[in-house]
Structure 1
Amino acid sequence: MMQLKRQQIIQIFVVACAILLLIVKAPFAIAEVPPDVRDSISTPDEVDTSIGTLHFFDGVPTPETTETVYDDLDRMRGTDAFLKGIPLASVYGLMEGQYSLGATAAHQVIIFDQLMDSESLYLTANTSTLYTWGVLDLKRDGATVIDVPPGMLGMINDAAFDWIVDIGPAGPDEGNGGKFLVLPPDFEGAIPEGYFVVPTKAYRHSLFLRTSIADGIDQAANLIKNNLKVYPFSQKDNPPAMEFVSASGKAFNTVHANNFKFYEELDAVIQYEPYGLIDRERRGLFASIGIEKGKAFAPDARMEAILTDAVAIGNAAARSIVWYPRVDGTLQGVQHYPDTDSSWLMGYTGRNVFFTGEDGETMNSDARVMFHYPYTYVSPAMATPQEGTGSDYGVAYLDSNKQFFDGSKTYQLHIPADPPAKDFWAVTIYDSQTRSMLQTGQPFPTVGSQTEGIQQNADGSTDVYFCPQPPTGYENNWLETVPGKSWFVIFRMYGPLQPWLDQSWRPGEVELLD
């Protein structure tokens, strides 16, 4: 019996030794992995990077390195939040601009009854059509009715600047007008008949309408004032009288901030709107820098300094994307005339208003920035012009030599004969800082086929000049520039015809003369 126990003890001892031997030899098994594999999964004790030398002990970062990395991570996230938050802050700025003029209720609407001029800070607006816009607040008012007359051209965008519905020829009313019923995301109840029903995912929406002034400005304004109605559906039996607030000639701002205030604007949107406004990825990005629904945005001194740096980098990135797009990369498809490497660009890369790439499934963040940093309002109809209707644009941020514009110099744009526009063409100049109309001695900084006294060349072509002083004999072909400032230009075709659409007719480049 004692002998049996002794044998069992010996066997257990042998097994234990074997296990111990395996454990001891285990580290040597790692050495059998190819060196390149081991190197690929290991971290050296010192790593040189663009943010400095990072220090580790056998793969564990030192406290100093950890602090450096977290600062950089927060900065990167802040920069990304700026670029991905531009649409939200931009439409927020539009709404706040309207409120600043006293139009705060659904039945109070802004109208540029004498057109928009350069007093207003508004991204790339024009001076050639009559604008009307309003804010729908479905959290406050519930379902809201928009009763539009025939002949309108417009759209509704939500608080993320996403397209909701067109109004006019491209909309369900097909240009005949009618009643649109805009429903809040939490709407419950029966859907009444007699309305164009518009479900939404947001509380606040921006209504934008354009009216042709072909029959005169006053007639266009009266069409709106005598027929447009906006009111909560709950007041349909006794809607309040409309109030039209004239914004013509008034100085007010609708442009989002490019400093730390930007994050406060973004936070205001996140706090007010429902969770479904944006996807979880962007919502998580914003939360990572302290912008989270239901929580106060209160960065400490360290985080505020980092975000101040981040927004400066983000703003520089946005301007780089707009002025120098990577036309052979993420922004392939933004050029109007890629076959000649022209400086004329389109607003929508690849004419895709959803910024979802060629496959329709891959978000192109650069294309979204390319549009939302200098422009406003999204509609598929704006990206797919039909012959003789609507409008189409070309934008030049650089001259023919791909250099930025200098307000102290003289430039020329040659418009060949017979511009293919059923209605008219127009050239408007903009401030590179505000992306709004350039403020000069010309309150309406536009030259075009409707300009009284514009001079044509003997062959029917037209030259437009950009310089501080008008060229002799071409005062009506001149757009004033400001020494010490830059600018850019938009060429608009109203009622574009086939030669514009098939590009057999093209404008010249903007060329430096001196």
Structure 2
Amino acid sequence: MTSRATQAVIWAMPAVNTDLMLQAALKTGAKENEIVYWSRPVDWRNQTLTPNPDAIYLMPFFNTKHAPIVLEVPPATSDSSFTGNIDDIWQMPLEDAGPAGADKGAGGKYLILPPGYKGKLPAGYIVLRSPTYSGYALIRSTLRSRSEADVANAVAYGKRLKLYALADAAHPPATRFTDAANQLFDATIPYDTRYFESLSRIVQNEPWLERDKVMIDQLKSIGIEKGKPFAPDEQRRKKLDQAALDARDWIAHELERAYTPYFPGARWVVPAAQALVQDASKGYSEPDIYPVDARALVYSMGYVGIKRLGEGQFYLLSWQDKNGGALDGSHHYRLTVPQNAPVRQYWSVTVYDHDTHALIRNMTRASRSSQSTDMVKNADGSTDIFFGPDVPAGHEKNWIPTERGEKFELLFRAYQPARPLFDKTWTLPDPVKVDAS
């Protein structure tokens, strides 16, 4: 049973990841077909996997079991825009939204249909056929800076989103928004029996997909079966706990070996396997691959599927310094971001707990970005970012705190990236260990 349960953890990772975020949303007081949002850039209380602390987040959680759902996106303006992604429960991208999405910044009505929908399709909608009833959108309202005025503008623009049933399209009711800014929103992966409780919820509420029917008997053998409660006894709970830990250890081992460096001779990697990017964006329709292992690695440390990776956003990950040493919160490091970073919006670098892939708890700051108007630049236009357990002398404005004795990882984000990042005429050097002075 243990080996089957371990494989179930690996196979189910993206869907369980989604369910955990939904459960956290429900705890805020929100419901499905409503929008959870953060009225300021997220802090450590947002315990999702590698969130962006330099954007205003809005998360519509939809369920089409009773009716098709419309997500209405406003047009971009000269000072307001979205980077958005709409996914099914398996985090398979249905479409992107905003200037890099299907509406191309003109705004649009995304019509999300339930599995097997055969009703007449109205004109004027961007139609998304979801293979599952449930899913969510991750909408980032772009910040020009962290000033109170720019935060308020990004929030106000974000709240122009609308979410409603297609049947109400003629006179949509007001969309309900729930602010999660002051609440603990914990969606970190629990590697124990709670993982299987989440998986059972998914099995009960969602249709079996043809590609996954091989898992029906596998899950039945560990106590998860459609139409039946998941009620493991103490002995089975111990086995499931161990199976989840085995999966965690396998994922941690593979994560540090799965990706090749993006820049020659450097440590930064793109945290997504090419096979997964291609297959997921096509609805897992490639005839000879189904990258379940690669999918588990990605969704054990992050969330949201992107239809057109590289158009709206691009990510680089590192957990090592220039010499290959693990990034350790007890030490001090410097990352130099060269001048003329190839972005049309902004770049940022964020520190995460290497074990949970969430923001380090109780830290006052998690990132620095090109939106941070108080940062000090070097004479050549480059910017030094410092990491460590205490403030390096003279560099407080460019410093991100770390936790002593805990490993951490860095995620560099480029929003609306430009060609020099892809042809690698602009490169990001590795962080360098430095002493406290």
**Distance across 2 between alignment mates of 1:136 and 1:274:** 16
**Distance across 1 between alignment mates of 2:363 and 2:112:** 42
Please give the residue correspondences for 1:121-140 in structure 2 after superposition, counting only pairs within 5 Å.
121-139=47-65
Relative to 1, partners in 2 of residues 1:192 and 1:97: Cα closer, same or farther, differing over 3 Å?
same
> What SS is found at the alignment partner of 1:304?
helix
Relative to 1, partners in 2 of residues 1:310 and 1:94: Cα closer, same or farther, differing over 3 Å?
same
> What SS is found at the alignment partner of 1:142?
coil
**Distance across 2 between alignment mates of 1:481 and 1:119:** 16
Per-residue deviation, residues 392-450 of structure 1 (Å, max 9, x unmatched): 121112222333222111112122233222332211111123311223442x4111322
Give the corresponding residue for 1:367: 294
> What SS is found at the alignment partner of 2:124?
coil
**Distance across 2 between alignment mates of 1:211 and 1:138:** 25
Give the corresponding residue for 2:121: 191
Give the corresponding residue for 1:222: 156
In the alignment, residue 275 of structure 1 is paired with which amino acid? W
**Distance across 1 between alignment mates of 2:433 and 2:423:** 28
In the alignment, residue 167 of structure 1 is paired with which amino acid? A
> What SS is found at the alignment partner of 1:414?
strand
Q: Is the 8 A contact 2:192 2:245 kept in 1?
A: yes
> What SS is found at the alignment partner of 1:265?
helix
**Which of these residues, 294, 297, 315, is aligned with residue 230 of structure 2?**
297
In the alignment, residue 346 of structure 1 is paired with which amino acid? V
Pair 1:435 & 2:357 matched: yes
> What SS is found at the alignment partner of 2:47?
coil
**Which of these residues, 253, 257, 260, is aligned with residue 325 of structure 1?**
257
Consecutive unaligned residues of structure 1, counting only runs of 5 or more, are 1-73
**Distance across 2 between alignment mates of 1:486 and 1:288:** 37
Consecutive unaligned residues of structure 2, counting only runs of 5 or more, are 77-81
Q: Is the 8 A contact 1:159 1:277 kept in 2?
A: no
Relative to 1, partners in 2 of residues 1:288 and 1:177: Cα closer, same or farther, differing over 3 Å?
same
Per-residue deviation, residues 232-264 of structure 1 (Å, max 9, x unmatched): 122334432222212223222122321111011
Pair 1:307 & 2:249 matched: no
Q: Is the 8 A contact 1:116 1:249 kept in 2?
A: no
Give the corresponding residue for 1:268: 201
**Distance across 2 between alignment mates of 1:488 and 1:132:** 25
Give the corresponding residue for 1:161: 91
Per-residue deviation, residues 300-357 of structure 1 (Å, max 9, x unmatched): 44432222111111011112222x124xxxx5xx4312x31x2211121237425579
**Distance across 2 between alignment mates of 1:129 and 1:260:** 33
**Which of these residues, 38, 42, 63, is aligned with residue 112 of structure 1?**
38
> What SS is found at the alignment partner of 1:411?
strand
Per-residue deviation, residues 150-184 of structure 1 (Å, max 9, x unmatched): 12331221112212222223443232112222111
In the alignment, residue 124 of structure 1 is paired with which amino acid? T
Give the superposition deviation at 1:76.
1.2
> What SS is found at the alignment partner of 2:8?
helix
In the alignment, residue 122 of structure 1 is paired with which amino acid? T
Give the corresponding residue for 1:173: 103
> What SS is found at the alignment partner of 1:421?
coil
> What SS is found at the alignment partner of 2:46?
coil
Relative to 1, partners in 2 of residues 1:84 and 1:111: Cα closer, same or farther, differing over 3 Å?
same
Give the corresponding residue for 1:144: 69
Give the superposition deviation at 1:269.
0.5
Q: Is the 8 A contact 1:201 1:277 kept in 2?
A: no
Pair 1:406 & 2:328 matched: yes
> What SS is found at the alignment partner of 2:154?
helix
Q: Is the 8 A contact 1:153 1:175 kept in 2?
A: no
Give the corresponding residue for 2:269: 345
Relative to 1, partners in 2 of residues 1:343 and 1:101: Cα closer, same or farther, differing over 3 Å?
same
**Distance across 2 between alignment mates of 1:317 and 1:109:** 35
In the alignment, residue 253 of structure 2 is paired with which amino acid? S
Relative to 1, partners in 2 of residues 1:189 and 1:456: Cα closer, same or farther, differing over 3 Å?
closer
Greater RCO (CA < 8 Å, at least 6 residues apart): 2
Relative to 1, partners in 2 of residues 1:260 and 1:417: Cα closer, same or farther, differing over 3 Å?
same
Aligned residues: 422
Q: Is the 8 A contact 2:94 2:307 kept in 1?
A: no
Q: Is the 8 A contact 1:349 1:355 kept in 2?
A: no
Relative to 1, partners in 2 of residues 1:484 and 1:277: Cα closer, same or farther, differing over 3 Å?
farther
Give the corresponding residue for 1:491: 412
**Distance across 2 between alignment mates of 1:124 and 1:404:** 18
Q: Is the 8 A contact 2:251 2:296 kept in 1?
A: yes
In the alignment, residue 176 of structure 2 is paired with which amino acid? E
**TM-score under structure 2 normalisation?**
0.90
**TM-score under structure 1 normalisation?**
0.77
Higher helix share: 1
**Distance across 1 between alignment mates of 2:51 and 2:224:** 31
Q: Is the 8 A contact 1:202 1:277 kept in 2?
A: no
**Distance across 1 between alignment mates of 2:419 and 2:117:** 44
Per-residue deviation, residues 12-61 of structure 1 (Å, max 9, x unmatched): xxxxxxxxxxxxxxxxxxxxxxxxxxxxxxxxxxxxxxxxxxxxxxxxxx
**Distance across 2 between alignment mates of 1:91 and 1:275:** 17
**Distance across 1 between alignment mates of 2:107 and 2:427:** 35
**Which of these residues, 170, 178, 186, is aligned with residue 245 of structure 1?**
178
Relative to 1, partners in 2 of residues 1:174 and 1:449: Cα closer, same or farther, differing over 3 Å?
closer
**Distance across 2 between alignment mates of 1:188 and 1:294:** 26
